Structure 1
Amino acid sequence: MHVDVGTIVWIYIKIPIGAIAGKAIVKECHSLAPSTLWNKFSNISGLNRKEFFKYFENVEKGFALSLESAERISSPVSLDILRSLNPDFQPPQFFTRLHEDNPLLTTLKLKKKLKHP
């Protein structure tokens, strides 16, 4: 897996919110053994040890992103809107790439510019 430093990531919050509600910029990419990832990031992973190692079960290397410049977008994009733009949209477990011609990316860029009412 490869993600370039400087890439914008859009952050989806699972149900019951079910919306893309934030964005951040990739600061660093880490591809390491799960035990090394745990040693480096356990205090900020948001997971307990059991959850972490279950997620990385049966893999030699895990992947983690360090993010910076995280912010909420002023008008979250709901799962209903995401699916109206792409009927096959399923929230990713980890990530999905959005290419420049993707209507979802166009919508996210527009929403980023909107102000709260």
Structure 2
Amino acid sequence: MSLMSPNILLLSIHHKYARMIFGGDKQVEFRRVRPRYLNEGDLILVYATSPEQALVGVLEVEKVVEMPPKKLWEIVKDKAGISYECFQKYYENSQTGFAIFFKKPFSFDSPIKLEQLREEWSDFRPPQCYHYLKDKEINLVQSIAKCDILSRSEKLKVYQTELLPQS
């Protein structure tokens, strides 16, 4: 594991699927495009789409899998939270599918609504695809959520342990 803190990806997820994720019924998120720097131990900050329009929680990435959709379905079908028909429709005409497996979904005590986000984060826009957070944005979200988001990552715990002086 490299000596670095986790990347934090802001991801828009359909409100229905965001609810399923934090309810434990969906353990994988599907994408047609792989987020470039997303690896094990990185974090996903979940923005639930309309009508919710809010940051709802954080996920830790377990792994990202890339393969043809037909093969992908075989390994995700029990964790997908969607039907094979929905899966097929989503990946229609796609040669490659990406599945982001995650662990330890953590929902905020109360969702951070879009209005509040825009009050405190003036240039906030829900991402069309995804957006990597900068340190300043991470600190802002932690302050608004009253939650140490970074502590949700095993990668950071390993990073902090490796930095501690050895006795």
Residue in 2 aligned with 1:46?
81
Sequence identity percentage = 23
Q: Deviations over 1:15-66 (max 9, x none)?
A: 2222111111101111111111111112221221221111112211111111
Structure 1 outlier segments of 4+, above 4 Å: none
- RMSD of equivalent CA atoms: 2.2
CA contact (8 A) 2:117 2:124 kept: no
CA contact (8 A) 1:32 1:61 kept: yes
* Whole-Å separation in 1 of the counterparts to 2:45 and 2:111: 11
One-letter amino acid matched to 1:51: C
* Whole-Å separation in 2 of the counterparts to 1:72 and 1:6: 17
TM-score, length of structure 2 as denominator length: 0.58
Residue in 1 aligned with 2:163?
none
CA contact (8 A) 1:82 1:89 kept: no
TM-score, length of structure 1 as denominator length: 0.79
Change in Cα spacing, 1:87 to 1:38, as seen in structure 2 (3 Å) is same
For 1:56-95, list aligned pairs within 5 A: 56-84=91-119, 85-87=121-123, 89-93=125-129, 95=130
CA contact (8 A) 1:29 1:65 kept: yes
Unpaired runs of 5+ in structure 1? Answer: none
Residue in 2 aligned with 1:11?
46
